[in-house]
Structure 1
Amino acid sequence: MKSYIAIFLLLIFTSFLVKAEQTCHLRADLLGAYYQLTNSNTHSNEQEYSITDKAVHLSSLWRTNQKVLSINGEQSTTWYRLNNGLVQKTTHFDHFKRSIEYQAKPMSEEYWQQIRQLIPDSKKHTLTLVNTTADGCYQQEQYQWHSDDSNLSGKLLWNKNLNIMTELTITQGDKKSHWQLQKIERNQDVINQVFAQRANYQSTDFADIGDNESDPFLIKMINLGFIDHSASGIYNANGESMAIQHNH
Structure 2
Amino acid sequence: MSCSLSLICQINTLQCSSVLDKKEKSVKKLIASLAFITPLASAAQCDLDSQYVQAHYQVSNQQTTTNALTKDQQFTLWRTPHQVAEQGHELVEVWQQLRNQQIRPIRYFQAQQRGIEYQPTEVHGQQDWSTKYQLVSDNFIAKMTLTNEQGEGCERLQNYQLVQGDTKIELAWLVNKKLISSMRISKPQLTQTLSLVSVRFDKADVLQQFANWDSYQTTDYADIGDNESDPFLAKMINLGFIEHGASGFYDANGKALSGGHSH
TM superposition score category, shorter chain reference: 0.7 to 0.9
Corresponding residue of 1:8: none
Between structures 1 and 2, the one with greater helix share: 2
Corresponding residue of 1:127: 144
Q: Give distance in 2, aligned partners of 1:90 and 1:179.
A: 24
Structure 1 gaps, min length 5: 1-22, 44-49, 236-240
Q: Does 1:218 align with 2:240?
A: no
Corresponding residue of 1:233: 249
Corresponding residue of 2:83: 67
Aligned-residue offset at 1:232: 1.0
- Closer, same or farther in 2 for the Cα pair 1:128/1:230, shift >3 Å? same
Q: Does 1:116 align with 2:133?
A: yes
Q: Deviations over 1:108-160 (max 9, x none)?
A: 9861111111111111111110001115633110011224x3x1112110011
- The total of aligned residue pairs comes to 213
The more displaced of 188-197 and 201-210 is 188-197
Q: Deviations over 1:182-233 (max 9, x none)?
A: 1111112211122111111111111111111110110011111101123211
What residue identity is the alignment partner of 2:136? I
What residue identity is the alignment partner of 1:28? S
RMSD: 2.7
TM-score (norm 2): 0.73
Aligned-residue offset at 1:105: 4.1
SS in 2 for 1:55: coil
SS in 2 for 1:51: coil
Q: Give distance in 1, aligned partners of 2:109 and 2:146.
A: 39
Q: Give distance in 2, aligned partners of 1:223 and 1:246.
A: 19
Identical pairs, percent = 31
Q: Give distance in 2, aligned partners of 1:216 and 1:67.
A: 29
Between structures 1 and 2, the one with greater strand share: 1
User: 1:88 pairs with 104, 121, 140, which one?
Assistant: 104
Structure 2 counterparts to residues 162-201 of structure 1, below 5 A: 162-201=177-216
- Closer, same or farther in 2 for the Cα pair 1:112/1:246, shift >3 Å? farther
- Closer, same or farther in 2 for the Cα pair 1:136/1:104, shift >3 Å? closer
Structure 2 gaps, min length 5: 1-44
SS in 2 for 1:137: helix
Q: Give distance in 2, aligned partners of 1:233 and 1:176.
A: 17
Q: If you compute each CA radius of gyration, which structure gives the higher value, 1 or 2?
A: 2
Corresponding residue of 2:17: none
TM-score (norm 1): 0.77
Q: Give distance in 2, aligned partners of 1:68 and 1:202.
A: 19
Q: Does 1:78 align with 2:85?
A: no
Q: Does 1:31 align with 2:53?
A: yes
SS in 2 for 1:125: helix
Q: Give distance in 2, aligned partners of 1:76 and 1:181.
A: 18
8 Å contact from structure 1 (residues 40, 54) kept in 2: yes
- Closer, same or farther in 2 for the Cα pair 1:175/1:137, shift >3 Å? same
Corresponding residue of 1:17: none
Q: Give distance in 1, aligned partners of 2:79 and 2:50.
A: 8
